[in-house]
Homo-oligomer: A and B are copies of this chain.
Amino acid sequence: MCAHQPLLGFRDFYPDDQRVLNYMFDVMRKTALSFGFEEYSSPILESIELLTAKSGDEIIGQLFNFVDKGGRHVALRPEMTPVIARMIGEKVNAMKKPIKWFNIAENFRYERPQKGRLRAFFQFNIDIFGESGYRADVEIILLTIMVMQNFGLRDFVVRLSDRCLWTLFLSAVGIEERNLTEILCVIDKIEREGREKTSAALNKICPHVDSLLDSIVQFTAIGSVEALKKFFEARGLLGFKGISERISELSCLIDTLAEVGVSDCIAIDFGIVRGLAYYTGFVFEFFDRDLASRALAGGGRYDSLTEKLGYDSIPAVGLAIGDVTLCDLLREKNLLPELKKNTDYFVIFDEISKNHALKLTNELRRSGFAVEYALHDVSFGKQLRMASQNGAKFALICGENEYSAAVVKVKNLLSGNEAVTEESKLGEFLTTFQ
């Protein structure tokens, strides 16, 4: 018989790893709560219909999918967005708006594991449903900035773009609506694929668009509201339906973020398109300036998803932070705090005082202290060593002599300080003893 392993691309979290995970989840959870977001969750298995409704069947190649014993075609969810859209869609009429929700969920994708990308990973998801205005987008961006700051990160940037202006631009230059999503998918990959491949891909969708490649490349390079205005002005498109109004909306978003004092980390960047078809407005990605290879977080507005799933139309904006890239970065920048097992007291006893010591232990635990003791009989010296190995701050020595005198000897394991106290006054004594 041979030993067993976790599956390829899956991680075991031994206590040292789990402490890191818990630290990260704590920061995320506390920050989300400070923004008034409420936590929700759902099991990892969903019907394939839900998961493909949004992205089409091509996503199946990346799923852990199967037919269950009842004949249901199901899959481990690859992301939370369709799940939250389902949950909101089911009960939207009974809920007060805006709905501000967060969760920390494990997701699964059948992909080739590589640095920063695993088959099982966690995402911190934040979403606002029921608000169409830019202030919901601001809230999502500010919350994400504060999460990054609460981790001690300083040199990150929010690259901000707008799917709405992208589609207005493409419409204004004559691209038909039915081709928009596909074209944006190609543009999303310009940086990676290079000009030649992009040109070929665009040609396949519609020959007209290829002649616009120069304009498209220029559009991806836009980095400010002024440059945006100039771009449209130079092409006589500022008057095209909705373009000016949308530029104003972007302006308001940027101004608000500046007023709050976070403009240092905001960068307009129309090179950000976000591949997923469901984004309908502002989109944003967070990058560390020193480690720009993979986004720390990404999101945007998706106003039409609930409708696509068969529910009422509900405006929505959201973002997800993955645990893998973020944790790599925190480790690399030495931003993970020292996380150790916490033991307040280690109780030391002998054969005679054994059961009495255990009673004492139980009482201290009931008061909320972390207390340990040896689970089999060993010498006093060995017990003292175990106390230190467990990182205990104090040893409480309750041997035969102490037991019969109804006292406890308390020893500070760092300083070596010792003192004896009546057992009945132990609790009080421990609050002051150093």
Contacts and interface: CB of A to CB of B under 8 A. Distances in A.
Contact of A370 (B34, B53, B91, B96): B34
A342 B32 CA distance: 12
Contact of A39 (B22, B31, B42, B74): B22
Interface in A2-44: 2-8, 10-15, 18-19, 21-22, 30-31, 33-36, 38-44
Interface stretch (A135-143, A160-168, A425-433): A135-143
A373 B96 CA distance: 14
A310 interface: yes
A66 B149 CA distance: 42
A302 interface: no
B36 A136 contact: no
Contacts of A68: 7, 64, 110
A139 B371 CA distance: 12
A112 to B, nearest CB: 10
A11 B342 contact: no
A14 B87 contact: yes
A93 to B, nearest CB: 12
B110 A369 contact: no
B372 A49 contact: no
Nearest to A82: B4
B44 A86 contact: no
A366 B146 contact: yes
A70 interface: yes
Which DSSP category, helix, strand, loop or mixed, fits chain A's interface? mixed
Interface residues of A, number: 97
A375 B128 contact: yes
Contacts of A106: 43-44
Contacts of A342: 33
Interface of A: 1-8, 10-15, 18-19, 21-22, 30-31, 33-36, 38-47, 49-50, 53, 61, 64, 66-70, 72, 74, 76, 86-87, 89-91, 96, 98, 101, 106, 108, 110, 120, 128, 131, 133, 135-136, 138-139, 142, 146, 149, 255-256, 259-261, 309-311, 341-343, 354-356, 358-359, 362, 365-366, 368-372, 375-376, 389-390
Given A4-B309, A7-B74, A261-B359, 15 more contacts: A3-B86, A3-B89, A4-B90, A5-B90, A6-B46, A7-B68, A12-B87, A12-B90, A34-B365, A34-B371, A36-B370, A64-B68, A64-B69, A256-B355, A261-B362
